[in-house]
Structure 1
Amino acid sequence: MSVAATAIVNQAFAQLGEDAVPSVEMDPAPSRLIKILPHLAPAIDAVLVKYGWLCALEYATLAPAPLVPANWKFGCNYLMPAGGLAFWEVERAGGWERGVWEQPGGATVPILRAREGGPLNVSYVKRRAADALDANVRDAVVFELAARACSPIKGDERLALKLRDLADKAVLAAMGTDGRDAKGDLPMIHDRVGALRASAQ
Structure 2
Amino acid sequence: MPSQLQLFNTAFAHLGESTVPQITGDPKPANVVKAFAAWPLALDTGLARHPWLCGLQRMTIARSASADGDWQYDYVYELPVDTLRIWTVKEGNTFAWERSTVVTGAFVGRPVIRSSYAGPLKVAIVRRTIPELLTPLLADAIGYELASRLAGPIQSDAKLAAQLKDKADTAYALAQGSEAGEHGGDDIVITSPMADARSSAH
What TM-score range do you get, normalising by the shorter chain?
0.7 to 0.9
Q: Which runs of 5+ in 2 are unaligned?
A: 196-202
Matches within 5 A, 1:1-201: 4-92=3-91, 94-103=94-103, 105-185=106-186, 191-194=191-194
Contact 1:54-1:179 within 8 A present in 2 as well: no
Deviation at 1:168? 2.1
The whole-number CA distance in structure 2 between the counterparts of 1:3 and 1:176 is 20
Contact 1:59-1:123 within 8 A present in 2 as well: yes
Contact 2:88-2:123 within 8 A present in 1 as well: yes
The whole-number CA distance in structure 2 between the counterparts of 1:188 and 1:19 is 40
Q: Which runs of 5+ in 1 are unaligned?
A: 196-201
Query: In terms of mean alpha carbon deviation, does 43-52 or 3-12 score higher?
Result: 3-12
Q: Percent identity?
A: 30
Corresponding residue pairs, total: 193
The whole-number CA distance in structure 2 between the counterparts of 1:188 and 1:8 is 27
Residues 139, 188 of structure 1: alpha-carbon distance in 2 compared, 3 angstrom cutoff = closer
Residues 81, 148 of structure 1: alpha-carbon distance in 2 compared, 3 angstrom cutoff = same
Deviation at 1:129? 1.4
Deviation at 1:18? 0.4
Q: TM-score, normalised by structure 1?
A: 0.85
The whole-number CA distance in structure 2 between the counterparts of 1:144 and 1:18 is 16
Contact 1:91-1:122 within 8 A present in 2 as well: yes
The whole-number CA distance in structure 1 between the counterparts of 2:134 and 2:157 is 29
Amino acid at match of 1:84: T
Amino acid at match of 2:22: S
Deviation at 1:114? 1.6
Deviation at 1:29? 2.4
The whole-number CA distance in structure 2 between the counterparts of 1:118 and 1:24 is 45
Deviation at 1:190? 5.9
Deviation at 1:106? 4.1
Contact 2:15-2:147 within 8 A present in 1 as well: yes
The residue matched to 1:159 in structure 2 has which SS? helix
Contact 1:78-1:111 within 8 A present in 2 as well: yes
